[in-house]
Amino acid sequence: MKFKVILIITLILFIEAYSAEINSLPKINVVYPPEGKEITSTDSTFIFGSVTPGSDLVINDQYIEVHKNGAFLAYLPLKPGDFVFQLEAMNQGGISRKEIKVKVPFQHLPTPKDSLRIENYEKAPSQDMVLTSGDIVQASFRGTPGCSASFYIEGLTSYLPMIESAKSESVFWGEGVFGKGEKKDSTVPDGLYTGLYKIKPGDRIENGTIVFELIKKIQNPDLFYFPSQACFDQEKMLVCLADSASGKVTIKEEIVPQIVELKDTSTIIRTGPGLGYLLLYQPQGVRFLANGRSGDWIRLRLAQNIEGWVKAEALNFLPPGTPLPESEIKFIRTETEDDRTLIRIPLKQKLPYEIEQEFSPPVLILKLYGGNSNTDWIRYNLKDEIIKEIKWEQPEKRVFQVKVYLKQKRFWGYDVYYRENELCLEIRKEPEVKYRLKGLKICIDPGHSPESGAVGPTGLEEKVVNLEIALKLKYLLEKYGAEVFMTRQGMEGVGIYERPQKAVKNNCHILISIHNNALPDGVNPFYNNGVSTYYYHPQSLELARGIQKELVKDLQIQDQGLYYANFALTRPYQLLSVLVECAFIIYPQQEELLRSGVFQKKCALGIYQGILNYLKEK
């Protein structure tokens, strides 16, 4: 009887609460975009959040589906400038309204063909450059299409021809990575003029200005608007306009080469100013020959046809007369240390290096820039179970190459570092895994924290669900014998670069970083969502592929793809590193799944099974 009374009271309270909710004005909560957000897309983007369950929702006069838990997601057109999302939520209690104001970039409109104009926004070079003989100066600007153009370097050259490039629309990067690769970048107008000059021996100039000239033939001067700085040849009916690039050019031939040295303990060398990674984690004290500059970036000569770039602030500029960064390699020797083999290469000074991997058979390739072979000796250790053979090559001047052929069928990580001026290359032994995962050390990284990471429409924080999945994965891995380390146990803050360091410090064989995804502006989340897996080094590709296959099979959501991706958590080469995006937390149905313990277990099971399959497929 007492139980029935409690049940009836509970039911009455629930009905009253539900009645009060549906008879109150609906609440509107917008998770993304936040007020004042600068949207990076120009034509459309998504908006998501939640309203009181049971409400109807209209955004900018479009009816938007509301899920049973109140979550909504919409993909809507934009207009450049100050743009407003106007939301109206309706239920029995009435209508609530909310505005979210954002900023949308203006497209660069084509310069009118009936004008004569050189646009300010795309003149190059835009930064000061220091160049030398054999370098090429590329000058460019955007202006009125259909004209003739030329340029000259003040104090050095006469007028040089420029050509108008055909319009070429590239795929918008977000669509190219996360979508079907079909949506074009609509912000590229006509009228791009480019010209080249190859610097000759003997060319010298200090802070030279690059001057552009644009010439247009007109029919009737009375119907043409003349810019204030234009010149007019009435006989030929030609109008000309001059302008200059903001970047100055200095050309010099250093009699004494400039040698530079890295300041920091771990520096990335890039393919160009602000571009992709060329050499990873070069240590403090490594030296280079510097032979050029673009703005704050210094050009480094690695070999005859290979160059890299690094910020000037990362370098010490050494005094004139400093020896060139080069060394003879007289011998190589190996040593066996516990679960790895150490290859030692003594040098006169620290040189830049690069590591590559080949498969079938597995070969680790070390390139030493500035290395010259005088190598008559290679000493092996008979107890070594990893290395089959070491061969050296001198593929070109100042590039010394070592090829290490392995006995084992797979790579399980490597490390490279200097001890004084001795380069050390460690190759890790394949772990002796017994029943299932016994003998394997695995590091699990629940992504994010203290920052929330991505947030779902109803407020689910990525850092929370990442940890839930990680704990379930930890239970599975330990159940079947693995030794597991976590980069965080709760909501404590852990730095992004500290996380892979924990995995390396604990001598782990595998690092799994767990995340849940969002999208950049301008990518349609209704078509582009699901599960995806990421790797960086070739040694991690097959593990990533196996995990992705299992997750697609187990989760029964869209296959968003397998990716090569340059992330801090995929870059460590001392172990196999994989990052997993289990689902799209911004997508209402998948956010709801992520709240489910059952779905979280499926994520953990897919990762576990992917690791197990990788071990079986020797």
178-224 pLDDT, tens digit per residue, is 877 665 555 556 899 999 999 999 999 999 999 999 999 888 887 77
The model's pLDDT over 312-363, given as tens digits with 9 standing for 90+, comes to: 999 999 999 999 999 999 999 999 988 999 999 999 999 999 999 999 899 9
pLDDT band with cut points at 50, 70 and 90 for residue 139: very high
- What is the average per-residue pLDDT within 53-57? 97
Residue 279: count other Cβ atoms within 10 Å of its Cβ: 21
In this model, does residue 6 exceed pLDDT 90?
Answer: no
What kind and span of H or E run contains 477? Answer: helix 462-479
pLDDT for 424? 97
Q: What backbone phi and psi angles, to 5 degrees, belong to 16? A: -65, -40
In this model, does residue 21 exceed pLDDT 90?
Answer: no
- What is the average per-residue pLDDT within 372-377? 96
More reliable by pLDDT, 377 or 169? 377
Q: How far is CA 369 from CA 123, 307, 312, 354, in A?
A: 35, 11, 20, 8
Whether the CB-CB separation of 87 and 28 falls below 8 Å is answered with: yes
pLDDT for 115? 85
How far is C-alpha 53 from the chain's CA centre? Answer: 38
pLDDT for 171? 67
pLDDT for 401? 98
> What CA–CA distance (Å, rounded) separates 205 from 198?
14
The model's pLDDT over 508-517, given as tens digits with 9 standing for 90+, comes to: 999 999 999 9
pLDDT for 42? 85
Report the top-level CATH class of 258-317. mainly beta
pLDDT for 179? 74
Share of the chain above pLDDT 70, in %: 94
Q: How far is CA 116 from CA 126, 237, 244, in A?
A: 22, 13, 15
Span between the terminal Cα atoms of the chain, in Å: 65
> What CA–CA distance (Å, rounded) separates 132 from 553?
57
Whether the CB-CB separation of 16 and 32 falls below 8 Å is answered with: no
pLDDT for 618? 67
Whether the CB-CB separation of 285 and 262 falls below 8 Å is answered with: yes
What residues contact residue 400 under an 8 Å CB cut-off, 6+ apart? 329, 367, 368, 371, 372, 373, 392, 393, 394
86: nearest Cα among 72, 102, 77, 99: 99
pLDDT for 4? 58
Which pair of structure tokens corresponds to residue 121? Answer: 């926004």
User: Is domain 2-104 classified as CATH 2.60.40.10?
Assistant: yes
Beta strands 422-428; 340-346: pairing state: antiparallel
Residues forming CATH 2.60.40.3500 domain(s) in the chain: 327-428
pLDDT for 369? 98
The model's pLDDT over 467-498, given as tens digits with 9 standing for 90+, comes to: 999 999 999 999 999 999 999 999 999 999 99
What residues contact residue 302 under an 8 Å CB cut-off, 6+ apart? 288, 308, 352, 369
pLDDT for 3? 55
Query: Look-up: residue for tokens 């604990």?
Result: 506
DSSP 433: -
Residues forming CATH 2.30.30.40 domain(s) in the chain: 258-317
> What CA–CA distance (Å, rounded) separates 419 from 341?
16
Reduced to 3 states, what is the DSSP secondary structure of residue 490? coil
> What CA–CA distance (Å, rounded) separates 604 from 512?
11
Reduced to 3 states, what is the DSSP secondary structure of residue 613? helix
- E-strand ranges in 245-321 read 249-251, 258-262, 267-270, 277-282, 287-294, 297-303, 306-311, 315-317
> What CA–CA distance (Å, rounded) separates 326 from 348?
8
Share of the chain above pLDDT 90, in %: 83
pLDDT band with cut points at 50, 70 and 90 for residue 1: low
More reliable by pLDDT, 527 or 42? 527
One-letter amino acid for residue 297 of the chain = W
Whether the CB-CB separation of 450 and 491 falls below 8 Å is answered with: yes
The model's pLDDT over 541-593, given as tens digits with 9 standing for 90+, comes to: 999 999 999 999 999 999 999 999 999 999 999 999 999 999 999 999 999 99
> What CA–CA distance (Å, rounded) separates 447 from 569?
9
> What CA–CA distance (Å, rounded) separates 427 from 341?
5
Q: Which of 90-94, 184-188, 293-297, 344-348 has the lowest mean pLDDT?
A: 184-188
In this model, does residue 254 exceed pLDDT 80?
Answer: no
> What CA–CA distance (Å, rounded) separates 324 from 197?
29
One-letter amino acid for residue 125 of the chain = P
- What is the average per-residue pLDDT within 581-608? 98
In this model, does residue 12 exceed pLDDT 80?
Answer: no
Span 327-428 CATH architecture: Sandwich (2.60)
Query: Look-up: residue for tokens 């934009």?
Result: 78
- What is the average per-residue pLDDT within 155-172? 84
pLDDT for 110? 81
In this model, does residue 5 exceed pLDDT 80?
Answer: no
Residue 516, class by beta-carbon neighbours within 10 Å (0-12 exposed, 13-18 middle, 19+ buried)?
A: buried
pLDDT for 86? 97
One-letter amino acid for residue 497 of the chain = Y
Query: Look-up: residue for tokens 């200095």?
Result: 250
Average pLDDT, the chain: 92
> What CA–CA distance (Å, rounded) separates 204 from 155?
9
- Long-range contacts for 54-57 (Cβ within 8 Å, ≥24 apart)? 54/22, 54/91, 55/26, 55/89, 55/90, 55/91, 56/89, 56/90, 56/91, 57/87, 57/88, 57/89, 57/90
Residues forming CATH 3.40.630.40 domain(s) in the chain: 441-616
DSSP 133: T
pLDDT for 358? 96
How far is C-alpha 285 from the chain's CA centre? Answer: 27
CATH number of 441-616: 3.40.630.40
pLDDT for 19? 54
Which pair of structure tokens corresponds to residue 246? Answer: 């903001």
In this model, does residue 605 exceed pLDDT 90?
Answer: yes
* β-bridge mates for residue 373, sequence order: 329
pLDDT for 22? 56
Q: How far is CA 591 from CA 252, 444, 562, 580, in A?
A: 59, 22, 21, 16
